[in-house]
Structure 1
Amino acid sequence: MEIPIPPNFQCPISLELMKDPVTLSTGITYDRESIEKWIGTGHTTCPVTKKVLKTPDLIPNHAVRKIIQDWCVQNRPYDIEPVPTLQIPITQYEVSEEYVLSSSFESYASVSVEKHACLLIEILSRLTWMFPLGVEAQSKLASSTSLRCMAWFLRGEDVSGRRVTVLALAELLALDQGYVNAFAEMECVAEALVKIIRVPICPRATKASLMAIYHMISPSAMSEEMTRRFMEMGLVSLILEIVLNYEKGICEKALGVLDRMCDCGEGREYLARNHESTMPALVEKILGVSMTATEFSVSALWKLCKDENGGVVVDEAVHELGVFEKLLVVLQVGCDERTKERANELLKFFTRYKERLDLDSSILFKYLKRPY
């Protein structure tokens, strides 16, 4: 069940739930990350009121933050992601709660995972609300003992343990490639992550599993092997089903995994061979879901077309799916520069098929009017 975010909790720029609300001198509240990007690119006005800012100072809005946190707690059963608690700097004489919990997790896991399973799950659940963790806490949670414990939960049948573990892993693996490599070596963890996608626990767990996989197939010495393993488990067909049928957040993460698979030679070869199902999914999501989805889709298409098997993919994209029209619009909307560069390269690459194109201006206007 999807719970709509109350308008007052949404950042006026990103339209996402505000995790760190701050207020400008104009009285308008934004999420810190979004408004810092706005100011960082040279803007001197308030995005909503268009008034010139008297000062660039960002004032933390603790009242709004507390209300949002309470709302997240109330809707936790509906998989609403928690707003992290502000990290208060500690002195050398103090020990943070996150370090105590991470150390406790490692200690109990080293004694007996089965004996202390309930306690370990409770500790891990608490830690998921504290990310990003400090360096000391990370080292404890990413130790070989802790990772083996999380792998044990992930492979198990306890739904609560699997859910909490995959949420923590998605956050932890995003912090350091070393953690990714260490976890990837654990037995059967790839199969466990795919199982969460094949037999969903909840939307949030599905997103976390996709994010964990995304980091595990990141460009590295072992990415080819990991990509191959995931393909052998039928992940591609699951990803394509998600891309075509799931809501925005999950769809974006699935496209991210698909795009990253295209970094691997075997991944590109597999997707090119199965272009009849791959291309409709990629092309449909260009200008169809969000900017993020468009950027991932264009990136994956670019990688496939640049591959030696790209001729088959190009023929499918241009002749049957009308990707040419969409790419023309991508150049006119607010995508990042890399996406526009790739769209431009794709258009040049497609010119050899121009005799097949029958562009209709009404189609272009349809895409231009599509809101995000």
Structure 2
Amino acid sequence: MGRNDLYITAPSIFRCPISLDVMKSPVSLCTGVTYDRASIQRWLDSGNNTCPATMQVLQSKDFVPNRNLQRLIQIWSDSVARRQLEADSAANSAVPSQDQINLLVKQLDNNNFFSSLTKIVCFARESEENREFLVRIDGFLNAVFDFMRNVGSDIKLIEQVVEILNLMSSKILEKKPLLESSSLSTILLVIQRGSLDSQIQSIGLLKSIAVDGESKLKIAEEDGVLQELVKSLSRENDPSLNEASLSCLIEITMHKRVKIKVIQSGTIPELKKHISEPNTSVSIIEKSLKLLETLLSCREGRVEIWHDSVLLQAIVQKVLKVSNKATEQAVTILWCVCCLFRDEKAQGAVGNTNSNVMTKLLLLMQSNCSAAVRKMSVDLLKIFRVNSKSCLSSYDTKTTHIMPF
């Protein structure tokens, strides 16, 4: 495919009516017309009080960020970049041979770093055998690590490095170079500014190097990492990005002070959205519940969870509705807040839910659940029986054989 074949005209809705360029930060005026922030700000700063497109006099000069349009522009931009990268890879012919790779590795210290690394990434994508071959080349990983320590601002080049490291993460025995602050800052830069695929790869790389308590804590305490991971949980983002961020947060949220920082970053409201809203994937619901369960082990997490009746009722809704794994996680959370820590407000919120928690628990006890979940269900039923004298009155004699007391 020739380079001219890749020429793509940007949709007119993505272009600013003033500059005619693709908008970087779309904002809408009170007239409903959207402009790039920099262009409309210059227009207003010049003393104009009208909408440039409609010439209507503005009742207010305030503008509102158009998040939906910004997300569409980002998706389109990533798609164009991806096609360009595929075309460049195709132009660089087929997968290099092992002899060619040896030569390319020797060239990594000169000005052809990007070109050489692009071909090496192509080689690594091809097979597990190729990745093992790369690991065995003297000096290859050291050259990549050195780049991570002394990175510039070329985001496309950084994305290539992150991809090769992500592909080879299971082969890298020495993780310490990637845990240095300079390397973590480079990975964070891709999460902040990279394409969607690169963001997912960067988050996956963080998870892969979180191999022990010390590394988990180091990643979590790197300035900006937790904030970006929590920001990636937003339902406005791609589900694959949501899932990658959840997996990474579950992996690194072990230490108490990390849990507190995760909670303070606004994680629980984002998890609540994933659990409460329809059409959320099974995997994301399971991971959201798992992270909630983790955050329950510190007081700050318990307080925020058990005082949110809407969240508690959403958790009840997931019992017997999503998967066996989600059911077990939901019951564990309910047991923790209602039985282990015995919060009366939480007990009331769960017991009064419209989803009839007692019916769910009785049905669950008849299913092929684990012994631990069955025991937690019994404990919960005892709590709700004490709190509501009439809660079992609707069960006839046909169901009494499954009652635990």
Structure 1 and Structure 2 fold alike (TM over 0.5): yes
Q: Distance in 2 between matches of 1:113 and 1:192?
A: 21
Q: Deviations over 1:120-170 (max 9, x none)?
A: 31232234344534423x344334432232123224465454332113223
Q: Distance in 2 between matches of 1:98 and 1:303?
A: 51
Number of the residue aligned with 1:5: none
SS in 1 for 2:353: helix
Q: Write out aligned runs for 1:100-249 (5 A).
A: 102-115=141-154, 117-136=155-174, 138-156=175-193, 159-173=196-210, 175-198=211-234, 200-218=236-254, 220=255, 223=256, 225-245=257-277, 246-249=280-283
Identity of aligned residues (%): 19
Unaligned 5+ segments in structure 2 are 1-85, 87-124, 400-405
- Contact 2:229 2:245 survives alignment (8 Å): yes
Q: Distance in 2 between matches of 1:351 and 1:277?
A: 22
Q: 1:85 to 1:139 in 2, by over 3 A?
A: farther
Q: 1:360 to 1:97 in 2, by over 3 A?
A: farther
Q: Distance in 1 between matches of 2:151 and 2:267?
A: 33
For 1:162, give the aligned amino acid.
Q
Number of the residue aligned with 2:288: 254
Q: 1:177 to 1:103 in 2, by over 3 A?
A: farther
- Contact 2:305 2:311 survives alignment (8 Å): yes
SS in 2 for 1:283: helix
Q: 1:353 to 1:190 in 2, by over 3 A?
A: same
Q: Which moved more, 1:157-166 or 1:253-262?
A: 157-166
Indicate the structure (1 or 2) with the bigger Cα radius of gyration.
Answer: 2
- Contact 1:319 1:357 survives alignment (8 Å): no
For 1:132, give the aligned amino acid.
S
For 1:252, give the aligned amino acid.
E
For 2:247, give the aligned amino acid.
M
Q: Distance in 2 between matches of 1:141 and 1:84?
A: 24
Aligned-pair distance for 1:192?
Answer: 0.8
> Is structure 2 residue 333 aligned with structure 1 residue 295?
no
Number of the residue aligned with 1:70: none
Q: 1:95 to 1:163 in 2, by over 3 A?
A: closer
Q: 1:267 to 1:100 in 2, by over 3 A?
A: farther
- Contact 2:220 2:253 survives alignment (8 Å): no
Number of the residue aligned with 1:267: 301
Q: 1:139 to 1:360 in 2, by over 3 A?
A: farther
Q: Distance in 2 between matches of 1:214 and 1:361?
A: 40
Q: Distance in 2 between matches of 1:109 and 1:131?
A: 14
Aligned-pair distance for 1:257?
Answer: 1.1
Number of the residue aligned with 1:65: none
Q: Distance in 1 between matches of 2:202 and 2:236?
A: 14
Q: Which moved more, 1:124-133 or 1:348-357?
A: 124-133
Q: Deviations over 1:81-137 (max 9, x none)?
A: xx99657997xxx7626997654432111122424x32331232234344534423x
Per chain length, whose mean CA-contact separation is higher, i.e. which structure has more relative contact order (CA < 8 Å, sep 6+)?
Answer: 1
Unaligned 5+ segments in structure 1 are 1-76, 78-82, 366-372
Q: Distance in 1 between matches of 2:324 and 2:217?
A: 30
Q: Distance in 2 between matches of 1:101 and 1:255?
A: 41
SS in 1 for 2:233: helix
- Contact 2:296 2:302 survives alignment (8 Å): yes
> Is structure 2 residue 376 aligned with structure 1 residue 339?
no
Number of the residue aligned with 1:356: 390
Q: 1:163 to 1:104 in 2, by over 3 A?
A: farther
Aligned-pair distance for 1:344?
Answer: 2.6
Q: 1:99 to 1:273 in 2, by over 3 A?
A: farther
Aligned-pair distance for 1:234?
Answer: 2.5
SS in 1 for 2:297: coil
Q: Distance in 2 between matches of 1:113 and 1:101?
A: 19
Aligned positions, number:
272
Q: 1:89 to 1:119 in 2, by over 3 A?
A: closer
Number of the residue aligned with 1:80: none
